[in-house]
Amino acid sequence: MLEDLIKERLKKKEDLEKAGVDCYPAKVKRNHKIEEVLKSFSFLSLFKKKVAIAGRILALRGQGGIVFIDLNDGSGSMQAVVSKKNFKDFALYKENLDLGDFISAEGTVFKTKAGQKSLKVSGLTLATKSLRPIPSQWYGIQDPEERLRKRYLDVLLNPDIRDMFEKKARFWNAIRTFLIKRDFMEVETPVLENTPGGAEARPFITHHNALDLDVYLRISPELWLKRLMVAGYLKVFEIGRIFRNEGMDAEHLQDYTQMEFYWAYADYNDGMKMVEEMFKFIAQETFGTFKFKIKDFDIDLGKKWEIYDFTEIIKKMTGVDILKTDVKEVEKKLRELGVEYDSHGFNLNRGIDNLWKFCRKNIAGPGFLINVPVMMEPLAKRSGKDKNIVERFQVIVAGSELGKGFSELNDPVDQLGRFNDQAKLREAGDEEAQMKDDEFVEALEYGMPPTCGFGMSERVFSFLMNKTVRECQIFPLMRPKKEDK
C-alpha cells in the first residue's frame, strides 16, 4: 500500500521534471506570511495588491477547470484558487500535485461566494515534492509511541501540540527575562566533566578520544556556577542540558533542560521570596493564569505559598522521627506502608527519601519544603538554629518537587567532610551518592561569599501542562524501531 503510493509520487516527480519543473528549488517567491495576508486582507483586496505566499498543501479539491488548495505555512492557513483560465500549466500541476507538497502561489486576494478569504492564483511554483503521504489531518497518528517517534508529523497535524511547544519556548524565555531584569548574567559551563557533581544521580560515562580519558556527562552545572561566585560574579544563571542515567517515569527523563541561578550575598529566605515571584511571572507570561489543574489537584500559584517542615511532616504521616531514627526502623516502616524501594545500596538517606516520597503525594502546595537533615544535602549550609538540618528549600506543587535551592555551603572544611561521607556511601553501593571533588574544595578554600542557589527543570513546564515530561519534550529519546523480518 505505502510502497505503491510512494511509487506513484515518484512517477509524478518524474513527469514534472520531464516538463522542466525543478521539484526541489533552493528558493521560491514569497513576500507575505499567510497570517499577514489575512490580517491585511481588506487593504490588499481594495488595492488589488499582488501577494506571494508559500506553504504545504493540506487539502486539494478539483472541480472541472478549477482546483482549490488549502495552504498552511505555519503562521496560518488560506485557500488558493487555481483556474485553468489564469494558469497555463494548469493540467500539469493538477495531475501531479499531492497533499504534503510545498508550493508558492502568487496572485490577488478575494472572497468566494461563501465568504472565504482566498487567493486567486496567477502563478504557481512547486517548492518541494513530498514522496510520502501525510496521515489524515482529522485522525492523525493514533499510536502514542509513533506520535513521539514522528513528532514532526504530530506537530504538523495537531494544533494543540504545536501550541504546547510554542508555550514551552515562552516558558524558557520568561525565566530568562525574569533573571536578566534582575541583573543575572547568563553563562555556559562544561557538559563533559572529570568529576560529576552538584546532585545525587548516576552519570553517563563516555570516552574523550583526544585526551584518551573517560569523562562524564554533567548531572548538574552547580559546582561550575559556584566557582563563578568564587571568581567574583554576583549573579549568574545557566539554562542547559542535564544528563542522568536513571529510571524513566512520568516525571523523569535521562536528558532534559535545567536552569540554575546563583546569587551572592543572599540566603535561602531571599531565594524563596524570589522563586515564588519567578513562578508567578512564568505562569502569567506563559499561560496567562495562576490557576492550574494538575493531577487531582487544583493549584493556584497566585496565592501566598505555604511552608512545610520536612521532619514534622514525615513524623506526622509515618510516626518516624528522622532525626532520631536508624536504617532498620526506616526499612521496617517502608515495608509496613507498602512502599517499594531499591534495596541495592540502601542506606538511611535513601530510606528517609522514600518515606518523604510517600508523604509528599498528598501535599497540594504551592509551597516550600524546609528543614532537611544535613546528611541528605552535602552541598547546603547548616542552619544557624540547628546544626542537624540545612538551609534548603524545595518547591512543592501537586505532590511533587519542582525545584530545589540552598543557602550554599561555603565552608571548605565542612564541604570536604561531607564529600568524604558521600564517598563512604558510594563504597557501600549507593551509586547516586556524590563523588568527591577536590578541585571544587580547593576553589572554596580561596573563599566564596554567602550565596543562594536554585535549580529547576523542564518538569515544571510539564506539570503546568498537566502532561508527562516525555510528552512535553519535542523529540524524546526512543528505542530504535524494529524492522520487520
Question: How far apart are alpha carbons 13 and 129 in whole angstroms?
Answer: 7
Q: What is the pLDDT of residue 467?
A: 95
Query: Mean pLDDT across the stretch 85-93?
Result: 89
Query: Mean pLDDT across the stretch 288-314?
Result: 95
Question: How far apart are alpha carbons 96 and 80 in whole angstroms?
Answer: 17
Query: Mean pLDDT across the stretch 298-324?
Result: 93
Query: Mean pLDDT across the stretch 5-18?
Result: 96
pLDDT digits (tens, 9 = 90+) for 117-140: 999 999 999 999 999 998 875 556
On the question of pLDDT at 426 being above 90, the answer is no
What's the pTM value of the predicted model, to 2 decimals?
0.89
On the question of pLDDT at 444 being above 80, the answer is yes
Q: What is the pLDDT of residue 485?
A: 43
CA dihedral sign, ordered 375, 381, 383, 386: positive
User: What is residue 370's three-state secondary structure?
Assistant: strand
Q: What is the pLDDT of residue 24?
A: 98
pLDDT category at 217 given cuts 50, 70, 90 is very high
Query: Mean pLDDT across the stretch 208-226?
Result: 95
What's the whole-number average pLDDT of the chain? 93
Query: Mean pLDDT across the stretch 23-48?
Result: 96
Residues 6+ apart with CB under 8 A from 239: 172, 175, 176, 186, 257, 258, 259
On the question of pLDDT at 375 being above 50, the answer is yes
pLDDT category at 483 given cuts 50, 70, 90 is low
* Contact in structure between 453 and 261 (CB atoms under 8 Å): yes
Name the residue among 29, 35, 25, 24 with its Cα closest to residue 107.
29
* Contact in structure between 458 and 473 (CB atoms under 8 Å): yes
Q: What is the pLDDT of residue 304?
A: 92
On the question of pLDDT at 481 being above 90, the answer is no
Task: Return the higher-pLDDT residue of 269 and 341.
Answer: 269
User: What is residue 347's three-state secondary structure?
Assistant: coil
Q: Which burial class, exposed, middle or buried, applies to 297 when counting CB atoms under 10 A from its CB (0-12, 13-18, 19+)?
A: middle
Query: Mean pLDDT across the stretch 20-38?
Result: 97
Backbone phi and psi for residue 71, each to the nearest 5 degrees, phi listed first: -105, 145
Structural domains in the chain plus CATH codes: 2-128 (2.40.50.140), 156-305+365-465 (3.30.930.10)
pLDDT digits (tens, 9 = 90+) for 314-357: 999 999 998 888 889 998 999 988 988 877 778 888 899 899 99
Q: What is the pLDDT of residue 139?
A: 56
Q: What percent of the chain has pLDDT over 90?
A: 76
**Nine cell digits for residue 288:** 496567562
* Contact in structure between 314 and 360 (CB atoms under 8 Å): no
Query: Mean pLDDT across the stretch 244-260?
Result: 90
Question: How far apart are alpha carbons 8 and 160 in whole angstroms?
Answer: 32
On the question of pLDDT at 147 being above 60, the answer is yes
Which residues make beta-bridge pairs with 393? 405
pLDDT category at 372 given cuts 50, 70, 90 is very high
